[in-house]
Amino acid sequence: MNKHFPVSRRGFLKLGGSTAAIAGSLGATRLHAMEQDQGGKDFSPVTGKERQAVPYTCMVCNIEDGGIAYIEDGRIVKLEGNPDHPGNRGKLCAKGNSGFLHVYDPDRIMTPLLRTGKRGESKWKRISYDEATTILASKLREVIDRSIKENDPAIRNEIVFKWGRNRTGGAVHRFMHAMGSNAMVNHTNICESSKKVGLEPSWGPDIESCDWTNTKYALVFGANVLETAYFHNPNAQRLVDGVVGNKAKLVYFDPRMGNTAALADEWFAPYPGTDGAIALAIAQVIMNEKLYDDAFIRTWTNVTPEQLIEHLKPYTPEFAEKESGVPAKDIRRIAREFATTKPATTFSYRGPAKHVYGSYQEAAIHMLNVITGNVEKKGGYCLPRGMNFNQPSPKPPAAKVPSALGAPPQYPLASHAVSTHMPYQIMKGEEKVAVYMTYYDNPVYTYPSSHVWDALLKDEKLIPFYCSFSPYMSETAELADLIIPDTTYLERNDPESMPSDLRPWLGIRQQVIKPLGGTQEWRDTIIQTMHKVDPDGSLGMKQYFAFKNGEEWVRAQFDGIPGLKEDGGYDYLKKHGVWPKYGSVDPVTAKIVDKNGEEVQPEFGLHMKELSAADMDGATIADNGAIKKGGKTIGVRINGKNMAGFGTPSGKIELWKASYVKYGFNPLPVYKRLASRDKKPDELVLTTFKVNVHTQSRTASLKYLAELYHKNPAWINPKTAAARGIKDGDLIRVTSSVGYMVTRAHVTEGIHPDVVAISTACGHSAYGRLAQLKQKEKVAEWALGGDPDIDHNVWWDDKGVHPNSIIKLAVDPIGGSQGWYDTVITVTKAQAGDKYGDVKSSLEVSIKDYEETLRFAYTGDIHKANHKEVQIDWDHLPEPHVGAGH
Amino acid sequence: MTLEMKKAETAKMIEENRAQAGIFTLLGRTLEYEADEAFLELLRTTLREPLAEAGVELPDDLLHGPSAEVLEHLAVEFTGLFVAPGAISPYASVFETGAMAQEPSSRVNHWYTEAGFEFRRMLSGEFPDHVGTMLGFVAALYSAEADCLERGDDVAAEETKVRRERFLLEEVGGWVPGWCRIAASVAGHPFYERMLDLTGRVLWEELSMIAPPRRLRELSDLNARRPARLESSPEFRKASGL
């Protein structure tokens, strides 16, 4: 008995048991698990005070997920996904969650630095932003004045701007065009440019947006969707929706086993560079067995089934097995499954595209969706959906003289340029640079044969003045003459839209806190610089930069967007981060649902949307049905209906590419055997890969991510390793024609026996103390004192070894992509005197590689030999000219 | 105590406070910004002898080199030592949390505000918890204390003294002497090496006067902090680490 409660213990427990049993029917309590909320609010665990929530668009990588920054006492203390964002639906990846560490990184460059010693000697003097922009403006003005004096607009192209990641919404082009320069060099050919050039001439856009969620069959080639491939976080969620929620089958091709292979129903490890042979064989089976969508091909493409059947004859499954190693019986089965399971889709990324002739491989994979009629279907292979924003008026006209820098005329089809060629063009005297500027770019680390960039930037005759806008001391920034640090992405304004979902969206990047410590965003630097280049406006340049600051510039970019103004315009975006709001994330299914709990469906069949009377006003219809207006194709007439069609000259999908054949390339997808396929038996193929918690180069100094992944041993198959006497963890020497590196072996079944794979993101020689593990090397110099993480929790002492320096330059003559996965190597146990981390490479060999890869271009002698099947007048190919195709 | 005696004692305290303010101003100025023409001139003239007596022999190049060259050289050294990535970060936040502009920065700023000061940066990348600014604050408090004494406001002088001592014990004493030792050990120019060494000694002297023995031992331990080298265990993962 209890004096306060007159019942025996037995009786008490009985009461408790009964109460527990009926708890559900006793009604609601006011207490709920916090995790039931979908985000958007956060509280200080110490004070309980609600934190300020500011939406933004992520930019740790290129996927541009929506996020919410939580601010406490003026500091960003946490990031999470924006639940209003249709792409990432309230979730961020590990990189996104860690992004705020960039802001407070003690190795961040917080003030402009002026070089005082030799290039790369790390001798700097700090100066103010005002002094820095004055120096930059004077250098730019020198070039402009020389151009005026000599009446030669081409001189303006000596002002060069190179970027790695440009999410400025056209600001870089505005800046460069205002000064009359076209010398803008992107990074796309070290990324996925041959994928883009495999797709664009066929259907317009440069990428597909699969409806993973509703598909029943996904055939994925070389795209590690669950970890890193384009639209990583949104696509990973949608793929899981499809595979788990919709019971879709996933078949995956990749020489290396990543998480996508692990999720797949079937994983095949083909020989690198043979995805095209597999896709063509699948197409052959589908066509020969009449499993194709006859009506779609005849109505919506510029080829007939008969043409395709004839073209595909050589590509038997047995041929594909010989090339790829994937059994013919599996290829046949997969072809039948893919064609008969509806809806179905393919997806591909760098695996097929990053080879010499990668454009053909992408085109072959794309064709599978076309011949099976899966294009623009629910659950199928869809066009990407994005939204546009503007550059404010007045806009500077495009510069007068095209530039060949990073866009050599030998590659007229490479619409995303060939940036890898830039240093060689300058070293050979073909192009000249007076002022070189870089933004979010680190080629000394990220490019193939990266030592060539190092040599270029150290040469003050070739690069007389180099200004970096990097907020971090990267391997490239440390070679600059002047660094005017940008802010991080959380302290900057940009407009955004990315086709990461089938429901299009507009977003903003805004300053979630004021730029830390009085730093300034790049837009402000450019406004100030241009006001100094043209102080009285007499050059006509200042008018394009009549903004108070970066925010005013970006605000103006959202003027005139239909529907946005009615919802509150730019201020709506500042409050919500993304527009429009499609619905809310369902707490159980994680799908975006409306008020009634129904999933908000995207629109499908975009190509079949009928054109309005206003659209047709003034339009003419060509013999092939193309609807033309203002010199452009705006749609296609099919069966008497005027429809939007595809972004090609005919308005149909052009599997037969006129642009390709013009330069002697096969207009239809073909397979070209690569030199790496003919390697000697003791040789291997080197591939690289990105890991799920790092970008290529910018995240190694973030402690959350560095702890998760910080070293990159070479993946090697047990049989391959055993044949060389190599055990797991052994020191090995990896040798290519360019040089060698000394690293360690990671012996695993998860890699093709003919392949060695080494990840990027590790092995920095710059980029801060964690990236370099400096606190391990020179304790006193890099001491951070009492920081518990750096001092006590950095348990690793291996920063990895970066492979790019020994990777051979070799580009796709069509799309211009670097053949990242075409380098032939030998692997041995380390030799006497080899030390972990040794890397040696030859500039002379790389220059010869440049000359060799030019031989594959349409102007080169190897081109015709590799395209004997193309019936054209080989003696009268178009003359190369600068600006063709760009 | 006679009035005369009290006056004399007050005068002595004022003098001492002014002197301390001068020393802390010098130390703060040295660490907060690059040397300029005026500072170099002071080093070569007025400060040369007193610094030598305090154990800081100014190097020959600083005393006799062309001013422009000396200043350029010192500016490069200053940037490499305290500003550029990889530098010895002079911020309490970095020392205590590994990140810039964290809670120690707000805390220190609160001290400034309470004492009637406002932090204004001169260049980007500056925060209230900079070693030099904090030493400058100590100097300002010494100076304010002297002002109070001069106008006979003993209560305000005592409050200022208490504030200074608390600030030194709570915000400076636990890390700055140790930081000075590390920074001096990697300084590339003898001027900074010696001035950092002097800063550490001055601070320790100051702390020794105001901290009880037990607290002093604690501060000594705190300033002896070194980054620990933790070796990874081969048992922890596969040899390749994946």
ipTM, two decimals = 0.94
Sign of CA dihedral A418, A420, A422, A428: negative
B224 touches chain A (CB under 8 A): no
Which residue among B76, B222, B230 places its CB closest to the CB of A123?
A: B76
Q: Which of A370-384, A752-766, A782-796 has the lowest mean pLDDT?
A: A782-796
Domain that holds residue B7: 3-33+90-223
Number of helices (H), then strands (E), belonging to chain B: the values are 12, 0
Q: Which two tokens stand for residue A262?
A: 């692990």
Q: Looking at chain B from residue 128 to 167, which residues have their Cβ under 8 Å from any Cβ of chain A?
A: none
Within-domain flag for B84: no
Q: What is the dihedral of CA A719, A724, A729, A731, to 10 degrees?
A: -160
Report the residue of chain B nearest A794, measured CA to CA: B230
State how far the Cα of A698 lies from the Cα of A762, in Å rounded to an integer. Answer: 10
What CATH number is associated with residue B112?
1.10.3480
Give alpha helix (H) positions in A478-549. Answer: 522-533
Residue A504 · residue A387 · CB < 8 Å:
yes
Report the residue of chain B nearest A777, measured CA to CA: B229
Q: What is the pLDDT of residue B232?
A: 52
Q: Looking at chain B from residue 20 to 79, which residues have their Cβ under 8 Å from any Cβ of chain A?
A: 34, 72, 75-76, 78-79
Residue A428 · residue A455 · CB < 8 Å:
no
Confidence of residue B240 (pLDDT cuts 50, 70, 90): very low
**Could you tell me what percent of chain A has a pLDDT over 90?**
89
Within-domain flag for B83: no
Find how far residue B150's CA is from the centre of its chain.
Answer: 26
Q: Which residues pair with A253 in a beta bridge?
A: A221, A268
DSSP annotation of A270 reads: P
For the beta carbon of residue A678, count every other beta carbon within 10 angstroms.
Answer: 9
Inter-chain residue contact A73 with B106, CB threshold 8 Å? yes
Residue A112 · residue A129 · CB < 8 Å:
yes
Q: What is the pLDDT of residue A1?
A: 45
- What backbone torsions phi and psi does residue B143 show, to the nearest 5 degrees? -65, -45
Report the residue of chain B nearest A124, measured CA to CA: B76
Respond yes or no on whether the N-terminal peptide bond of residue A443 is cis (omega within 30° of 0): no
How far away is chain B from the Cα of A723, in angstroms, using its nearest Cα? Answer: 19
Residue A11 has pLDDT above 90, yes or no: no
Inter-chain residue contact A785 with B95, CB threshold 8 Å? yes
pLDDT tens digits, one per residue of B61-94: 999 999 999 999 999 999 999 999 888 899 999 8
**Which residues are within 8 A (CB) of A322 and not within 5 positions of it... i.e. 6 or more apart?**
none
Residue with tokens 């992405």: A489
Sign of CA dihedral A35, A38, A42, A48: negative
Residue A305 · residue A312 · CB < 8 Å:
no
Respond yes or no on whether the N-terminal peptide bond of residue A394 is cis (omega within 30° of 0): yes
As to burial, measured by CB atoms within 10 angstroms (0-12 exposed, 13-18 middle, 19+ buried), residue A62 is: middle
DSSP annotation of B237 reads: S
Inter-chain residue contact A113 with B228, CB threshold 8 Å? no
Residue with tokens 């007048």: A873
Q: Which of A242, A237, A328, A226 is nearest to A277 (CA)?
A: A328
Residue B45 · residue B62 · CB < 8 Å:
no
Residue-range domains of chain A with CATH = 113-191+404-486+514-544 (3.40.50.740), 204-382 (3.40.228.10), 606-662 (no CATH), 675-854 (2.40.40.20)
Q: Which residues pair with A688 in a beta bridge?
A: A758
State how far the Cα of A349 lies from the Cα of A239, in Å rounded to an integer. Answer: 15
Residue B238 has pLDDT above 60, yes or no: no
As to burial, measured by CB atoms within 10 angstroms (0-12 exposed, 13-18 middle, 19+ buried), residue B236 is: exposed
Find the mean pLDDT for residues A154-169: 97
Residue A348 · residue A275 · CB < 8 Å:
yes
Residue A597 has pLDDT above 80, yes or no: yes
Report the residue of chain B nearest A100, measured CA to CA: B99
B209 touches chain A (CB under 8 A): no
Burial B173-203 (b: 16+ CB within 10 A, else e): bbbbbbbbbbbbebbebbbbbbbbbbbbebb
How far away is chain B from the Cα of A269, in angstroms, using its nearest Cα? Answer: 20
Inter-chain residue contact B229 with A779, CB threshold 8 Å? yes
State how far the Cα of A272 lies from the Cα of B70, in Å rounded to an integer. Answer: 59
For the beta carbon of residue A831, count every other beta carbon within 10 angstroms.
Answer: 12
Residue B235 has pLDDT above 70, yes or no: no
Find the mean pLDDT for residues A325-334: 98
Q: What is the pLDDT of residue B239?
A: 43
pLDDT tens digits, one per residue of B130-142: 999 999 999 999 9
DSSP annotation of A398 reads: P
What is the full DSSP assignment across A535-604? TTSTTS-GGGG--SSHHHHHHHHTTT-TTHHHHTHHHHHHHHSEE----EE-TTT--EE-TTS-B-PPP-
**Which residues are within 8 A (CB) of A13 and not within 5 positions of it... i.e. 6 or more apart?**
none
How far away is chain A from the Cα of B212, in angstroms, using its nearest Cα? Answer: 23
Residue with tokens 């200053």: B78
- Cβ neighbours of B238 in A, within 8 Å: 728-729, 746
A106 touches chain B (CB under 8 A): yes
Q: Which two tokens stand for residue A129?
A: 């932003």
For the beta carbon of residue A559, count every other beta carbon within 10 angstroms.
Answer: 14
pLDDT tens digits, one per residue of A362-415: 999 999 999 999 999 999 999 999 999 989 999 999 999 999 999 999 999 999
The rounded radius of gyration (Å) of the Cα atoms in chain A is 28
- Cβ neighbours of B124 in A, within 8 Å: 110-112, 128-129, 517-520
Within-domain flag for B70: no
Which residue among A711, A785, A792 places its CB closest to the CB of B96?
A: A785
How far away is chain B from the Cα of A248, in angstroms, using its nearest Cα? Answer: 30
Q: Which of A374, A220, A270 is nearest to A674 (CA)?
A: A270
Q: Which helix (H) or strand (E) holds A78?
A: strand A75-81
Q: What is the pLDDT of residue B86?
A: 81
Q: Which residues pair with A69 in a beta bridge?
A: A54, A79
Which residue among B80, B126, B227 places its CB closest to the CB of A124?
A: B80
What is each CA distance from B58 to A438, A452, B187, in whole angstroms?
A: 41, 45, 14
Number of helices (H), then strands (E), belonging to chain A: the values are 30, 32
Q: What is the pLDDT of residue B2?
A: 87
Inter-chain residue contact A123 with B175, CB threshold 8 Å? no
State the pairing for strand pair A578-579/A506-511: antiparallel
Look up residue A551 and give its amino acid. E
Q: Which one of A787, A796, A836 would you mutate to disrupt binding with B, by most B Cβ within 10 Å of its Cβ?
A: A787
Q: How many domains, chain B? A: 1
State how far the Cα of A722 lies from the Cα of A748, in Å rounded to an integer. Answer: 11
**In terms of residues, how long is chain A?**
886
- Cβ neighbours of B231 in A, within 8 Å: 795, 797
State how far the Cα of A493 lies from the Cα of A77, in Å rounded to an integer. Answer: 20
Q: Quote the strand ranges of A132-187, DSSP E.
A: 159-163, 184-185
Q: Which of A236, A97, A231, A164 is nearest to A505 (CA)?
A: A231
State how far the Cα of A414 lies from the Cα of A477, in Å rounded to an integer. Answer: 28
Q: Which two tokens stand for residue A461?
A: 């005759």
**Which residues are within 8 A (CB) of A150 and not within 5 positions of it... i.e. 6 or more apart?**
none
B88 touches chain A (CB under 8 A): yes
Interhelix angle A358-371/A275-288, nearest 10 degrees? 30
- Cβ neighbours of A785 in B, within 8 Å: 94-96, 175, 178-179, 182, 225, 227
Within-domain flag for B10: yes
Q: Is A630 left (phi over 0), alpha (psi -120 to 50) or beta?
A: left
Residue A231 · residue A347 · CB < 8 Å:
no
Q: What is the pLDDT of residue A46?
A: 87
Inter-chain residue contact A126 with B34, CB threshold 8 Å? yes
A713 touches chain B (CB under 8 A): yes
Q: Looking at chain A from residue 432 to 491, which residues have their Cβ under 8 Å from any Cβ of chain B?
A: 472-473
Q: What is the 3-state secondary structure (H, E, C) of A709-731?
A: CCCCCEEECHHHHHHCCCCCCCE
Inter-chain residue contact B100 with A75, CB threshold 8 Å? no
B126 touches chain A (CB under 8 A): yes
pLDDT tens digits, one per residue of A442-464: 999 999 999 999 999 999 999 99
Q: What is the 3-state secondary structure (H, E, C) of A771-796?
A: HHCHHHHCCCCCCCCCCHHHHHCCCC
Residue with tokens 């490890």: A269
Residue with tokens 């047990």: A718
State how far the Cα of A741 lies from the Cα of A105, in Å rounded to an integer. Answer: 30
Confidence of residue A430 (pLDDT cuts 50, 70, 90): very high
Give the count of alpha carbons within 13 A of A681, CB side only: 2
What SS3 class is residue A849?
Answer: helix
Q: What is the pLDDT of residue A883?
A: 83
Within-domain flag for B53: no
Q: Which two tokens stand for residue A414?
A: 């490479």
**Which residues are within 8 A (CB) of A790 and not within 5 positions of it... i.e. 6 or more apart?**
A703, A769, A770, A775, A784, B98, B227
Inter-chain residue contact B103 with A73, CB threshold 8 Å? yes
pLDDT tens digits, one per residue of B17-58: 999 999 999 999 999 999 999 999 999 999 999 999 999 999
Inter-chain residue contact B95 with A784, CB threshold 8 Å? yes
- What backbone torsions phi and psi does residue A40 show, to the nearest 5 degrees? 95, -15
